[in-house]
Amino acid sequence: MDDEQQRRPSGSSVAHAYGNALARQWAPAMPRPLTGGFLTTLYALRTLASADGRLRYERDGAAITLAQIAAACRSDQKDVRLYLQAAVAAGVLAVVEDGHGQGKTRGRAVMYALLLCPTPDWERAAGLVWIAQQQKKERRAAAAARKAAQ
């Protein structure tokens, strides 16, 4: 499927088109650091999204929570939060205005929307993931050193 076919509306849902782009174009082009939990998160987002591409329940419009996304990915919530930030940085996910700012209030479900980006910035996303992984390793090493010193 070429870029023109991908952009052309075919009558299918946003989630379906997102899944096609993910499997056919994006995943093969991703740097290696993104092919684990990040890629799994993108597939889970595609599965959880409504037909219009928003991560919400059709029946009441409530946003799907971070805990529910993490459960679908079988990942830690902190890791999933990082992957969501990286997806926003890559341009394949957006935070939807919820009337209460940009959804940055703790304890409030943030609504996301899938974006069909013709050229995602995977290097930017990989940089965010790599930095967070390095910080996590440093914290673990420091905790192990403190424990060994006791």
* Domain extents in the chain: 3-149
What pTM was computed for the model?
A: 0.83
Of the pLDDT bands very low, low, confident and very high (cuts 50, 70, 90), residue 82 is very high
Q: Which CATH class is domain 3-149?
A: mainly alpha
Q: How confident is the model at residue 104 (pLDDT cuts 50, 70, 90)?
A: low
Question: Which residues lie closer than 8 Å to 130 by C-beta, 6 or more apart?
Answer: 33
Q: Which residues contact 43 (CB under 8 A, 6 or more apart)?
A: 19, 22
Which of the four pLDDT bands, split at 50, 70 and 90, describes residue 26?
Answer: very high
The answer to whether 117 touches 91, Cβ cutoff 8 Å, is: yes
Question: Tokens 């996301």 appear where?
Answer: 112
Tokens of 127: 């940089």
Contact between 77 and 67 under an 8 Å Cβ cutoff? The reply is yes
Helix (H, G, I), strand (E, B) or coil at 95: strand
Per-residue tokens: 100 = 């209460």
- Residue 21 in contact with residue 39, Cβ under 8 Å? no
**Residue 24: predicted pLDDT:** 96
From 11-15, 73-77, 138-142, the region with the lowest mean pLDDT: 11-15
Q: What is the pLDDT of residues 42-76, one digit of tens each?
A: 999 999 999 999 999 888 888 899 999 999 999 99
Encode 68-84: b = buried (16+ Cβ within 10 Å), e = exposed. Answer: bbbebbebeeebbbbbb
| Residue in the block written with tokens 């096609």 | 20
Residue 109 confidence (pLDDT): 73
HSE, CB side, 13 Å, CA atoms: give it for residue 116. 19
Name the residue type at position 136. Answer: K
